[in-house]
Structure 1
Amino acid sequence: MPNPPRLRAAALSATAVLLSSVLAGCGDGSTDEDVSAQKLSWKECPAPSEAEGGGSAPSPLPGGEQWQCATMRAPLDWGNPQGDTIGIALIRAKASGDLSRRIGSLVFNFGGPGGSGVTTLPAFGSDYTKLRTRYDLVSFDPRGVGRSAPVRCENDQQLDTYFQQDATPDDAAERAKLIDNTRKFNAACEKNSKKMLPHVRTTDAARDMDLMRQVLGDDKLHYFGISYGTELGGVYAHLFPKNVGRAIFDGVVDPTQDVEQGSLGQAKGFQLALDNFARDCTSKVRDCPVGDTAQDVKDRIAKLLKGLDHKPLPGIFPRQLTQTAATNGIAQSLYSKDFWEYLTEGLEQAYDGDGRILMLLSDSMNGRNENGQYSNTTAANVAINCADDKPRYTADYVRGKLPEFRAASPVFGDFLAWSMVSCTDWAVPGAAEHPDVSAAGSAPILVVGNTGDPATPYEGARKMVDALGKGVGVELTYKGQGHGAYDSKNPCVQSAVDGYLLDGKVPAAGTVCS
């Protein structure tokens, strides 16, 4: 299987849905108009496009108000700002409180890269009710994502095959097939999206955000970045330090790591989360249905995955639950402690010969809805990562690294090691070894790290604080589980974040919440 997007890409909203559109594309010509002077036309939001994942238009806000959507024009090529334009899809909920106390817009990016902010913000909108008292809540589909000139690679049928094949090859023939399938996927991206591929770097998205700030009428960008959104926020702060307002980085990407270091860190992070799940399950008063001890839980999972490599289970007809799909599904369930019950149920079901729940979890990670349609999450994730990341890894190089990855995680090591070949023969060179987030002169940025975070391990928060520079990053630690901290609803975390965003009160550096 061409390697799946790096695991930091998962979006929790899709799992919540599974388990409980006018596209503004590349312009036809150039324009001499100053895009910063454009006026947005806000209208009732349409149903999400197929590239955003499909589904229904967002439900009204708690007070009955409708979500509003608009399209912002941005240069296709920021190196030629008078050239062709693309449309950047936006969504907002207007501030609910006294307008005299309104601070401005609070822009969210929920991560990926490749996640649709236009669909994710309404899914989690109730979590930000307090913030909405003083801000318009705003999110967007970054360029290449959803309704913002989406990158397109393979079609739904091809993607079903893509995700059914083996992403952890065991011999020369399987390795050759992995590399060949990766090349085919990447060639499809070039064929179907050649014009966009050079222009989906994180630096491009950061420039879009500064244009967004201007078009929204704000002197400063007030920002809430989650997961990859912290990397995007860091790049923005580097490019526009004087334009940073009140900013939160939650679930923090380590900006000092290259692809290999990031993948190895994730192997350790997901193994830690699996260890925590196993201990939690076996420490309860009732018997744990998937193992007698924490080690027994992990041993049974390893045995399941080994068996699936040779004999998949029935999944969602006509697809089968393969080793890769099961690993992917297990990883998705570790993004939130709220999903551990689904992992328990999915494992119980798999041990009885039924792979449907683990496959649903895997489908969520991959952006597949119940109708068999894929969002463009995977295509955008690969395109943005490959445009950002300079390293290009060979199969021989990865083979040499397997012992280190397996030591980091017996369950996820191979999976994440082989993810490093995803940019094989990519059409566009990568920009850098890692992002530059140094931001001297920026306003304080609250950096929130979660000690149990699988996708963006806790150590990345300190690395982000150091990289932002003296007097910019302010670290807050949450001793918890799952990806990110604010949506855990921990009162201490939420009080600190709300206090900064609403009242400008920066918590003391080194604050710990548990």
Structure 2
Amino acid sequence: MPRHALRATTATAVTAALLATASCSDGGEDTSAGTSPGSTGTALAWEKCPRPDAAQGGGDAPGPQWQCATLKVPLDWSKPEGEQIPLALIRLPAKDQKRRLGSLVFNFGGPGGSGITTLPSAAKEYAALGERYDLVSFDPRGVGRSAPVLCENDEQLDVYYAQDSTPDTPAEEKALTDAQRRYREACRRNSGKVLPFVGTENAARDLDALRKALGDAKLNYFGISYGTELGGVYAHLFPQNVGRAVFDAVVDPTKNSEQGSLGQAKGFQLALDNFAQDCVDRGDACQLQGSTPKEVEANILELQKSLAAKPIPGIGDRMLTETAATNGIAQALYSKELWPLLEAGVDEAQGGQGQLLMRLSDALNGRDDYGRYSNIGAANTAINCADSKERYSLEQTKAKLPQFQAASPVFGSFLGWGLMACNDWPVEGAWVTPDVSAPGAAPILVIGNTGDPATPYEGARKMVEKLGPGVGVELTYKGEGHGAYNSGDRCVQAAVDGYLLEGKVPPGGTVCTAA
């Protein structure tokens, strides 16, 4: 589990990898690589995409219809003529070039997720939009191939993610704080030059440079999870440049890091409650023991306690610890499609084998089957700490634990201890909460999911309020999982497609209910 809060990122790529349903070569015709106007009057050189590197998560190269390019942007936007860093880009040209509307830029969240690997995995879900838009994504600064933040190596990360992150004794507290200090020093040593510049405001300025480089007068944007915070900051900085935009799985812009983590504790607990209720409703078809949701969850709590005392075999020579198991449980709650894996994983672990929960945990931490980690964890910490001013000491964190544990018996302690993630970080944070006010911007469709664990439903309304009158348009999806459009719900997709493709803004307060 990341040492801040659970990442606010789309579950699309993880679901695809675990269920083996995605195809990197699907979607679009075989369009030859070309160029688009650059921000300096030059052109982006679109070429065949290489295989993603380890920092991006690895895997196969996308199919021949996908095109990749690099955009140079200032490391420090206050010195635009100074040192430049690369932004890695990917696009799938619109199928209907005669009716092409321009580019639709995606950020899938994290912070720290690679758009280069996620967009090809998710392309099927956005095929309707790909008829008339070039689907475009990127590795934000600090991520993947875009001046990545690098901290500990793979072997060190295996140890880091296996450690006890909910200490109960002074010795365990010292072990945790020592591990965090070593991790922090590795980040400073390996990436000190970029750490001050990976925050969301700089990424938003990169978005505007990308808009210019793509040759678009306005930024058409689809932000998911943390991508909604990035989109909100962009709208604040460049309201006149906002085109048709959708925010899905919305980060609450009014909550500080402590409030956000506490909200996640409640959100993941709600998702676990819903999972447990579904298990009970299915009766003997559910593998887990318990005749009520509370009994199902009590057995999961007992599993956590037993793993804290004695880990069980995981993958290879790695053991499934309490931390890894909780990571895996959380990962499976990002999408209802993963509930069967959660059920099977808990059942397997109760029988003494931890392979499936460890596989889920590895997916959350960005570890592949070869033992290589993407840089999502390092980037996540670096971006969060560059953004947030708040720094919690050991004593302050311990004082906060009771309210986290009250919010969620299963996840509260983990998220509470995560408050220390930015303690003694080598870079000061930019804000307590981001400014997303965007007077004069075009309408932004803001979608909240009532069952979302990572970005609780209330955040959508807060985003609408902060964007300001006439800008935010709220849509509610009564469903499960992280995000709404990727659920396949026809009502949600009709509203989004109608706005992005036809410019039809749905009425504020529209409600869609999962079938």
* TM-score tier (shorter): over 0.9
Check if 1:280 corresponds to 2:278.
yes
Aligned partner of 1:117 in structure 2 is: 115
Aligned to 2:211: 213
CA drift at 1:366: 0.2
Deviation, 1:286, is 3.9
Which of these residues, 58, 63, 75, is aligned with residue 62 of structure 2? 58
Alpha-carbon distance in structure 2 between the residues aligned to 1:91 and 1:7 = 23
User: Structure 2: which amino acid aligns with 1:291?
Assistant: Q
Map 1:158-237 onto structure 2 (within 5 A). Answer: 158-237=156-235
Partner of 1:6: 6
Structure 2 gap ranges (5+): 21-37
Match of 1:135 among 133, 136, 145: 133
Once the two structures are superposed, what CA deviation does each residue of 1:147-173 show, in whole Å capped at 9, x if it has no partner? Answer: 101010000000000001011111211
**DSSP 3-state at the match of 1:224:** strand
Counterpart in the other structure of 1:459: 458
CA distance in 2: counterparts of 1:300 and 1:467, whole angstroms: 41
CA deviation string 1:51-100 (max 9, x = no partner) = 0011110135xxxxx10000001011101000110110000000101x33
Distance 2:110 2:426 in 1: 21
Preserved contact between residue 18 and residue 370 of structure 1 (Cα < 8 Å): no
Counterpart residue type for residue 177 of structure 2: I
Q: 1:4 to 1:357 in 2, by over 3 A?
A: farther
Matched, 1:47 2:51: yes
Q: Gaps (5+ residues) in structure 1?
A: 21-33, 61-65
Letter in structure 2 aligned against 1:147: R
Q: After superposition, where does 1:283-294 map in structure 2 within 5 Å?
A: 283-284=281-282, 286-292=284-290, 293-294=292-293
**Residue matched to 1:431:** 430
Q: Aligned AA for 2:329? A: I
Q: Are 2:51 and 2:61, in contact at CA under 8 Å, matched by a contact in 1? A: yes
CA deviation string 1:475-495 (max 9, x = no partner): 000000000000000000000
Distance 2:472 2:40 in 1: 29
**Residues 4 and 420 in structure 2, CA contact (< 8 A), matched pair in contact too:** no
**Superposition pairs for residues 261-272 of structure 1, below 5 Å?**
261-272=259-270
Q: CA deviation at 1:274?
A: 0.1
2:17 aligned residue = 17
The within-5 A match list for 1:462-501 is 462-501=461-500
Corresponding position: 1:421 with 2:425: no
Match of 1:37 in 2: 41
Letter in 2 for 1:240: F
The letter of the residue matching 1:3 is R
Q: Which residue of 1 aligns with 2:26?
A: none
> 1:36 is paired with a residue of what secondary structure?
coil
Question: After superposition, where does 1:311-460 map in structure 2 within 5 Å?
Answer: 311-460=310-459
- Secondary structure at the aligned position of 2:352 is classed as coil
Aligned to 2:33: none
2:288 aligned partner, one-letter code: V
Deviations 1:348-400 (A, max 9, x none): 11011000000000000000000000000001000000000000001111111
* Whole-angstrom distance in 2 between the partners of 1:131 and 1:366: 30
Cα distance in structure 2, aligned partners of 1:7 and 1:355: 23
Moved more, 280-289 or 410-419: 280-289
Is the contact between residue 119 and residue 137 of structure 2 (CA under 8 Å) also seen in structure 1?
A: yes
User: 1:37 is paired with a residue of what secondary structure?
Assistant: coil
Task: State the Cα distance separating 1:407 from its structure 2 match.
Answer: 0.8
Q: Distance in 2 between matches of 1:157 and 1:393?
A: 28
Does the 8 Å CA contact 1:105/1:137 hold for their aligned counterparts? yes
Cα distance, 1:243 vs. partner? 0.2
Distance 2:448 2:342 in 1: 24
Matches of 1:190 and 1:160, distance apart in 2: 20
Deviations 1:214-258 (A, max 9, x none): 010000000000000000000000000000000000000000100
Give the counterpart letter for 1:424 in structure 2: N
RMSD over aligned Cα atoms:
1.3
One-letter amino acid matched to 1:446: L
Q: Equivalent residue of 2:40, what SS?
A: helix
Q: Deviations over 1:450-469 (max 9, x none)?
A: 00000000000000000101
C-alpha separation in 2, matches of 1:459 and 1:158 = 38
Q: Report the alpha carbon displacement of residue 19 of structure 1 after superposing the two structures with TM.
A: 4.6
Q: Distance between the aligned counterparts of 1:50 and 1:7, measured in 2?
A: 19
Query: Do the aligned partners of residues 35 and 101 (structure 1) sit closer, same or farther apart at CA in structure 2, a change above 3 Å counting?
Result: closer
Amino acid at match of 2:140: P
Name the SS of the counterpart of 2:193 in structure 1. Answer: coil
State the Cα deviation string for residues 117-168 of structure 1 (Å, max 9, x = none).
Answer: 0100000101111101111000000000001010100000000000010111
Post-superposition shift, 1:4?
6.0
2:250 touches 2:448 (CA, 8 Å); kept in 1?
yes
The within-5 A match list for 1:231-270 is 231-270=229-268
1:26 alignment counterpart: none
- Answer whether contact 1:5 1:378 (CA < 8 A) is retained: no
- Work out whether residues 95 and 133 of structure 1, in 8 Å CA contact, stay in contact via their aligned partners in 2: yes
- Residues 10 and 417 of structure 1: CA distance in aligned 2, closer, same or farther (over 3 Å): farther
Once residues 132 and 13 of structure 2 are traced to their aligned partners in structure 1, the CA distance between those partners, rounded to angstroms, is 25
Structure 1 letter corresponding to 2:57? G
Figure out how many residues of one structure are paired with residues of the other and give that number: 495
Given the two structures, how large is their TM-score scaled by the length of structure 2? 0.94
Q: What is the TM-score when the length of structure 1 is the normalising length?
A: 0.95
The letter of the residue matching 1:314 is P
The separation in 2 between residues aligned to 1:94 and 1:287, in whole angstroms, is: 45
> In the aligned structure 1, how far is the partner of 2:84 from the partner of 2:135?
25
Equivalent residue letter for 1:17: A
Report if aligned partners of 1:43, 1:68 keep a CA contact under 8 Å in 2: yes
Judging changes above 3 Å, is the alpha-carbon distance between structure 1 residues 386 and 320 closer, same or farther for their aligned structure 2 residues? same
Q: Which amino acid aligns with 2:8?
A: R
Secondary structure of 1:436's partner?
Answer: coil
Structure 2 letter corresponding to 1:473: G
- How much has 1:2 moved relative to structure 2? 7.9
Give the AA of the match of 2:347: E
| Percent of aligned pairs with the same amino acid | 62
Measured after TM superposition, the shift of residue 317 of structure 1 is 1.7
1:304: how far off?
0.2
Check 1:300–1:358 CA distance in 2 against 1; reply closer, same or farther (3 A cut).
same
Superposition deviation, residue 7 in structure 1: 3.4
**Which has the higher mean CA deviation after the structures are superposed, 191-200 or 36-45?**
36-45
